[in-house]
Amino acid sequence: MAPARLRRLNRRLVEDLREDLAGLYVESRVPTPGDACRRPGRQGFLNRLAADLARPGFAMVIAESDGLMGCAFGFPVRGDGSWWLGFDGVLPRGVGQLTVSGRAFAFGDILIRPHPQDRELARRVQERLLTDHQASLGATLVDGDDRQTLSALRSWGWRDVGELRRPLGLTTFRALVFPLAARGTATPVGPVAMRGGGAPGGP
């Protein structure tokens, strides 16, 4: 397989690739034996993509080789800490600090076509999206019952920091972060934690 090329897409190009992206979503979310989690189908993915596409600062990076191999997309996390609303317990201080400073980026999804180099490709698209936005921390929420996605993210370098439930929501999410500095000697997600119901800045 030829090395994958990374490319940043604007909104118009994302619209042009909607069906290809939906196909990538379906292929990358093949259920494993014993997997009881019911994930959104093709149309559910397209609806979520359309909603994220309308958010300020939306960005997408795709990986291409002989075809579409992967993508990651999302939007900047607002510095007011509202993205972490509903976090249960203690949020690592570094997560709050990077959120307030505008250096956190929310990943709507990361889709990687299954192949032997999928872990390396996932790392590349994740890091490219963060560096393009001068962000030091990726953040995402995953349905707590979606063990397949949680396992994939953890194998791609994401760290589970706790549980989150939106007000009036029925789904309990796992909150995960991807510290860009984790590959070096420093990490923005250290063991020091803050209290205050998950609101960055603390009491």
Chain position carrying tokens 């872990």:
119
User: What is the pLDDT at residue 86?
Assistant: 94
Distance CA 165, CA 173 (A): 6
Q: Could you report the per-residue pLDDT of 110-160, keeping only the tens digit for each?
A: 999 887 778 899 999 999 999 999 999 999 999 998 888 899 999 999 999
| Cβ neighbours of 77 (radius 10 Å) | 25
pLDDT along the chain (203 residues), means of 10: 85 95 87 62 92 95 92 94 90 90 95 86 94 94 90 93 90 93 42 27 23
User: What is the pLDDT at residue 201?
Assistant: 24
| Cβ neighbours of 163 (radius 10 Å) | 15
CA dihedral sign, ordered 44, 19, 60, 150: positive
Distance CA 63, CA 8 (A): 9
List the Cα angle 84/98/150 in 5-degree steps: 55
